[in-house]
């Protein structure tokens, strides 16, 4: 088992690149456990510390990358807006429970893509940009339940 520490800085320019680095790392390793902590240092900067316990994965033969669905500046209809509102409430509750920023659970763009695509099976979440193994395992069933109930 190996351990990796990743710092997610809160500066709006750095948070995106740090989040991408974290997402790439999670996607390319066999994750055993993740711990997070908010570091509040008045002398320096505030940031999220992410400790990842993992094992290396054997390099897989890369397939041609599929294009994943991503809602791009598409307008939402009434039903899709209701779905989006429910997903945002769920995301806020989940972030509060896990003491994480809401964008760690899912970004606004990912929620809009869910509202437009409306997957009916957990496996279909793989078709949406931003949903990898980690997010699907942790939140997939709850998301499908929300989509079914709205």
DSSP 8-state assignment for residue 128 = B
Tell me, yes or no, whether 37 lies in a domain. Answer: yes
Domain that includes residue 6, residue range: 2-56
- What pTM was estimated for this model as a whole? 0.56
Q: pLDDT band at residue 65, thresholds of 50, 70 and 90?
A: low
Report the pLDDT value the prediction gives residue 5, as an integer from 0 to 100: 92
First and final C-alpha spacing in the chain: 42
Number of structural domains found in the chain: 2
16: pLDDT strictly greater than 90: no
Mean pLDDT score, 89-107: 93
**For a pLDDT cut of 90, what percent of the chain falls above it?**
39
Mean pLDDT score, 8-18: 83
Q: pLDDT band at residue 92, thresholds of 50, 70 and 90?
A: very high
Give bridge partners of residue 38 from the DSSP assignment: 48
Answer yes or no: do 99 and 36 share one domain: no
Domain of 138, CATH number, reads 1.10.150.80
Measured between alpha carbons, how far is residue 103 from residues 10, 76, 95 in Å? Answer: 12, 21, 8
19: pLDDT strictly greater than 90: no
Answer yes or no: do 93 and 139 share one domain: yes
């Amino acid at each position: 088992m190996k351990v990796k520490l990743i710092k997610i800085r809160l500066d709006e320019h750095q948070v995106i690149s740090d989040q991408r680095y974290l997402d790439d790392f999670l996607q390319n390793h066999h994750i055993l456990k993740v711990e997070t902590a908010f570091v509040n240092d008045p002398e320096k900067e505030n940031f999220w510390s992410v400790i990842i316990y993992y094992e290396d994965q054997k390099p897989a033969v890369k397939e041609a990358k599929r294009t994943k669905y991503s809602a791009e500046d598409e307008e939402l209809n009434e039903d899709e807006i209701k779905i989006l509102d429910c997903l945002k409430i769920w995301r806020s509750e989940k972030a509060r429970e896990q003491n994480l920023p809401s964008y760690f659970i899912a970004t606004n763009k990912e929620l809009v893509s869910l509202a437009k695509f409306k997957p009916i099976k957990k496996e279909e979440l793989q078709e949406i940009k931003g949903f990898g193994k980690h997010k699907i395992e942790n939140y997939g069933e709850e998301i499908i339940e929300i989509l079914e109930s709205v």
